């Protein structure tokens, strides 16, 4: 996490640092990104950068959180749903996330790089903490779905959430490696949400 001094930094300087970091990480990935290059582009000293961030990973995670924040804002919240409207609402929110990735190439590249880091640096506390934040949506979705009877409640606590998050990460990785800007977001959403519904919906009565 960035140091507390980052929160007190003026907004214009924050944006210069984040813009420089976004461009460098999106172009060269995490491993290939030049920390010194980001510092030079942002127009600050190396000492000042370390005044705000512990290292390159700290800056990368902060950059990803900032870059992907608008995606979660565009998706919105489930709001008031019932059993009949729950899965169609999840589908509409999924369409929103797909449209965002199709129209924001830098953010798409950063998310792809984050998924790769999740494989190679899974135990890194900053990476793990960021994924916990992202997985909060799944937790909320399942909780709301169970309350309205659209999500199964016959499994041990935590198992369904773990399975849903695993499916979500797998679907994201597949989607990011097969993305076609001409794909109809509704078709992709139908495919992915149907997989999630099959996993999470209550089993049919025997």
pLDDT of residue 56: 93
| Nearest one of 93, 68, 67 to 79, comparing CA atoms | 93
Distance separating alpha carbons of residues 37 and 57, to the nearest angstrom:
15
| CA dist., res. 196 & res. 200, Å (int) | 6
Of the pLDDT bands very low, low, confident and very high (cuts 50, 70, 90), residue 1 is: low
Alpha-helical regions (H) of the chain: 4-8, 11-32, 35-42, 46-52, 56-75, 83-103, 105-120, 125-147, 159-178, 185-200
CB 52 within 8 A of CB 9: yes
For the chain, the straight-line distance linking the first and the last C-alpha, in angstroms and rounded, comes to 50
Least confident of 59-63, 84-88, 111-115, 195-199: 111-115
Residues 67 and 59: beta-carbon distance below 8 Å: no
Per-residue pLDDT tens over the stretch 4-51: 788 888 899 999 999 999 999 999 999 999 999 999 999 988 888 888
């Amino acid at each position: 996490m960035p140091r507390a001094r980052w929160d007190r930094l003026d907004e214009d300087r924050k944006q210069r640092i984040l813009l420089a970091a976004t461009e460098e990480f999106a172009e060269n990935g995490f491993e290939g990104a030049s920390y010194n290059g980001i510092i030079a582009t942002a127009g600050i000293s190396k000492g000042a950068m370390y005044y705000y961030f512990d290292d390159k990973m700290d800056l990368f995670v902060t950059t990803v959180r900032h870059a992907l924040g608008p995606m979660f804002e565009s998706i919105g919240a489930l709001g008031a749903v019932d059993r009949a409207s729950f899965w169609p609402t999840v589908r509409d929110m999924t369409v929103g996330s797909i449209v965002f990735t199709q129209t924001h190439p830098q953010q798409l590249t950063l998310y792809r790089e984050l998924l790769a880091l999740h494989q190679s640096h899974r135990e890194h506390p900053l990476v793990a903490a960021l994924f916990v934040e992202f997985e909060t949506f799944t937790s909320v979705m399942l909780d709301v779905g169970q309350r309205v009877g659209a999500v199964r409640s016959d499994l041990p606590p935590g198992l369904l959430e773990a399975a849903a998050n695993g499916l979500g990460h797998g679907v994201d990785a597949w989607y990011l490696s097969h993305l076609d800007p001409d794909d109809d977001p509704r078709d992709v959403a139908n495919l992915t949400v149907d997989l999630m519904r099959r996993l999470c919906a209550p089993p049919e009565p025997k």
